[in-house]
Amino acid sequence: MESDPREPTANQPAPGHVRGVATATPWISATLLVFAAVLGMGGWTYRPPAPATVRVPAWATDNAPVRRPRLQPTLTSGVYTYRCSDCHRIIPSPSETDRTLTQHREIELRHGINTRCFNCHHRENRDAFVDDYGNEIPWNQPQLLCAKCHGTVYRDWQHGAHGRTNGFWDPRRGEPRRLRCIECHDPHWPPFAPMVPAPGPASPRPRLEAGRGHVGRELRPAPTPLRPPPESPRDVKRPDGKGGQQ
């Protein structure tokens, strides 16, 4: 009796049946369940070689000016506010100022060889500064005064290479604002006080062992901060403790 060719033989699987799948399916399912359980318990948690991220302190990202100078020739004493000329108009000053001050004794002049008050302050109108030709410079334009001696720095400041810009780079979002010289520098003691840098970005490179660098070189020791960062960026003090708000 001839067999029906449509019927599977002993060595031929039935139509729609893949040999071994029925046997392997339970093992595949069990393996996937094991992997899921291990991953769920954190068995293969990725630990990047970079050091832990250091939170940047608030003072490092504060965009407020370091100093808050008066941009008007005024002085407040108690409940009264005076203009510089209110006193200097009736109290004459000596022709030169290489002497011990009896007023403004909080000022310590350390501006290089520029130790003469009238190099910057107008002799007749104390509500203004003075240029090289005796003309008045408005009090709220101190950068024009600084340009008398620091011309190249002033040029860099104009083009954004020196100093700092607040506001927006994109003019569609708002106006940029160039900080004036005395919003960073004390005009009577200009050198900028050393500052502790903010933490750098976390590197994806593996940590080096302490005291060992690349190719067996010793790592240089971290620099010792010259002073701790000010509690407020507006409270910058000089090395002798003076300075801060003006």
Close Cβ partners of 194 (under 8 Å, ≥ 6 residues apart): 225, 226, 227
The pLDDT tens digits of the residues spanning 164-210 come to 888 888 889 999 889 999 999 999 999 987 878 877 776 666 555 44
Beta carbons of 238 and 186 less than 8 angstroms apart? yes
Please indicate whether residue 62 or residue 130 has the higher confidence score (pLDDT): 130
Q: What is the mean pLDDT of the chain?
A: 76
The yes-or-no verdict on residue 241 having pLDDT over 60 is: no
Please indicate whether residue 6 or residue 41 has the higher confidence score (pLDDT): 41
pTM for this structure?
0.60
State mean pLDDT over 75-100.
Answer: 83
pLDDT confidence of residue 104: 85
Work out whether the CA dihedral 148, 150, 152, 154 comes out positive or negative: negative
pLDDT band at 71 (very low <50, low <70, confident <90, very high): confident
Please indicate whether residue 147 or residue 103 has the higher confidence score (pLDDT): 147
Q: Pick from 98, 64, 106: which is nearest to 238 by CA?
A: 106
State mean pLDDT over 210-227.
Answer: 44
Please indicate whether residue 216 or residue 156 has the higher confidence score (pLDDT): 156
State mean pLDDT over 34-63.
Answer: 74
Which residue carries 């104390």 as its tokens? 126
Angle 53-54-56 (CA atoms, 0-180°, nearest 5)? 130
